[in-house]
């Protein structure tokens, strides 16, 4: 089964359900149990030689009211070593998805096989009309290189004036590089990290954020139109026709820095696209040829003042039955 929907009681239950979904889709579980050194569960999985750790985190972090818990967190590593721990061989930083309030309205799990590896994505409706995203997988790669594995998580900054500002850099948005780097705020937030080895460095991880000194930078998305930012800003701005109503599904191209202000395309996530939701509602199905895609907002479609709003930004996920 590569699509599943249901309800979860809390983040621990959500992660357990995701574990069963991954097992049903051929993923191997290295560890499932209590998280080492934290509040929550740890799910450590691998497939096709790519290793991921996903954690639930029930810590509410009342001191950080703008990025409140409970959380879901994810990281990528080159192999598996320590049960339940976020310290793994060649591990990336944790990417954190925020504010998984209980009880959750619904979850949607998607899984499949891309041309270069498998993927599994979760979309969670935390409050009615408000969504969170977290995923693992391997890019549909452009060119042959070691890597392609990625993980992502959505965090949404809750401060007044920011919570309904879709382009604010305080938000960590999957496959978009306009989020501030975790390293500058000293706690995990959302975003995307991709492995793409070159230049003799292995593993080489690329964080899609506004950081300028990463190893080196990753690039993707639509929220920032400055130099060396974004890859799909132009189609996103034109992406829902007022002539016909149609909104094409746009591949989430990712790139890495090559020096001399030039970049190389490394691919896009399979089974996941950007879509403008001007004329669509959350959860709406989008038939495309023989495929069916399901559309969700980045966090919440056009939320009212004071409410989370990601405008018309949305993701479409390929639904395989």
Partner 1 sequence: MTWMTGVAAGYVDFLDQLQAALCDRGHASGLFYQGTGNGTLTGPTGASGGYVGGTASVAETFTITAIDANTFSVVGSLAGDIGQATVGVPFASTRINFRINGGATAFVAGDQFKLSTTPRWTLARRQGTGAAGRFSNGFANSTRLWDGLVGTTAEFASRAAALPANAGISMIGAADVRRVSITTTNNQLFAPAGFRVEYSDNGSSWTEAIAYANVEWTSTEARSFAVPDVGLHLHWRVVFTASVNGGAAGIVEVQELRFYRGVVGDMQLQQRAEAVLAAPGNDGLDAIYIGIELYEDAAAAARSFNFYQFRSFDPLVAVRSQANNSGLTNVPLSSNNFTWWAAVNGRRIAGVAKIGAVYVPFYQGLGKPYELPSVHPYPAINAGTSSNEAGVATSTDPNFRGFSHPGRYGLRARYPDNVWRPHSNRFLSGSSETGDSATPGKVYPAATTNGGRESDFREALDGSRVLYEIVLTSIDPRHMWGELDGCYFTPGFNLVPEQNITMARFDHMVFQNCFRNAAADFFAIRQD
Phi, psi angle pair for 226, to nearest 5°: -75, 170
Token pair for 70? 């409970």
The interface mask with partner 1, positions 158-197, x = CB under 8 A, is --------------------------------------x-
The angle subtended at Cα 192 by Cα 261 and Cα 174, nearest 5°, is: 105
Work out the burial of residue 172: count CB atoms within 10 Å of its CB; fewer than 13 is exposed, 13-18 middle, 19 or more buried: buried
Based on the shown chain and the rule CB under 8 A, indicate whether residue 214 belongs to the binding site for partner 1: no
Based on the shown chain and the rule CB under 8 A, indicate whether residue 143 belongs to the binding site for partner 1: yes
Nearer to partner 1, 188 or 239 (CB): 239
Secondary structure (DSSP) of 143-182: S--SEEEEEEE-B---STTTTT-TT-TTSB-TT-S-SPPG
Based on the shown chain and the rule CB under 8 A, indicate whether residue 248 belongs to the binding site for partner 1: yes
Q: Which stretch binds partner 1 (CB under 8 A): 7-15, 56-64, 127-135, 259-267?
A: 259-267
Based on the shown chain and the rule CB under 8 A, indicate whether residue 142 belongs to the binding site for partner 1: yes
Q: How far is the CB of 88 from partner 1 (least distance, A)?
A: 25
Based on the shown chain and the rule CB under 8 A, indicate whether residue 231 belongs to the binding site for partner 1: yes
Nearer to partner 1, 13 or 257 (CB): 257
Residues from 260 through 299 that contact partner 1 (CB under 8 A): 261-266
Based on the shown chain and the rule CB under 8 A, indicate whether residue 252 belongs to the binding site for partner 1: no
Phi, psi angle pair for 233, to nearest 5°: -60, -40
- Count, residues near partner 1 per rule CB under 8 A: 33
Instruction: Find how far residue 308's CA is from the centre of its chain.
Output: 18
Nearer to partner 1, 124 or 256 (CB): 256
**Kind plus residue range of the DSSP H or E element containing 24:** helix 11-24
Q: How far apart are CA 321 and CA 319, in angstroms?
A: 6
Residues that bind partner 1 (CB under 8 A): 142-145, 196, 198, 225, 227-228, 230-231, 233-235, 237-244, 246, 248, 255-256, 258, 261-266
């Amino acid at each position: 089964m590569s699509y599943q929907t249901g309800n979860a009681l809390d983040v621990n239950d959500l992660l357990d359900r995701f574990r069963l979904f991954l097992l049903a889709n051929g993923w191997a579980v290295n560890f499932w149990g209590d998280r080492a050194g934290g509040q929550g569960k740890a799910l450590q999985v691998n497939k096709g030689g790519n290793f991921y750790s996903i954690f639930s985190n029930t810590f509410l972090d009342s001191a950080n009211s703008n990025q409140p818990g409970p959380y879901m967190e994810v990281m990528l590593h080159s192999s598996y070593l320590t049960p339940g721990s976020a310290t793994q061989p060649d591990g990336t930083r944790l990417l954190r998805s925020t504010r998984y309030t209980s009880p959750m309205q619904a979850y949607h799990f998607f899984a499949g096989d891309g041309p270069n590896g498998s993927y599994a994505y979760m979309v969670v409706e935390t409050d009615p009309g408000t969504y969170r995203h977290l995923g693992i997988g391997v890019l549909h790669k452009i060119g042959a290189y070691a890597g392609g594995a990625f993980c992502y998580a959505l965090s949404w900054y809750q401060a007044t004036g920011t919570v309904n500002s879709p382009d604010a850099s305080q938000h960590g948005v999957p496959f978009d590089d306009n989020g501030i780097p975790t390293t500058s705020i000293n706690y995990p937030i959302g975003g995307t990290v991709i492995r793409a080895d070159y230049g003799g460095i292995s593993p080489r991880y690329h964080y899609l954020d506004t950081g300028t000194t990463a190893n080196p930078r990753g690039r993707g998305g639509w929220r920032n139109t400055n130099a060396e930012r974004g890859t799909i800003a132009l189609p996103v701005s034109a992406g829902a026709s007022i002539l016909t109503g149609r909104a094409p599904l746009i591949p989430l191209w990712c790139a890495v820095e090559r020096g001399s202000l030039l970049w190389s395309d490394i691919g896009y996530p399979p089974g996941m696209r950007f879509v403008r939701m001007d004329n669509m509602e959350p959860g709406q199905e989008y038939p495309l040829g023989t495929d069916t895609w399901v559309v969700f907002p980045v966090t919440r479609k056009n939320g009212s003042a004071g409410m989370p709003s990601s405008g018309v930004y949305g993701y479409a996920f390929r639904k395989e039955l």
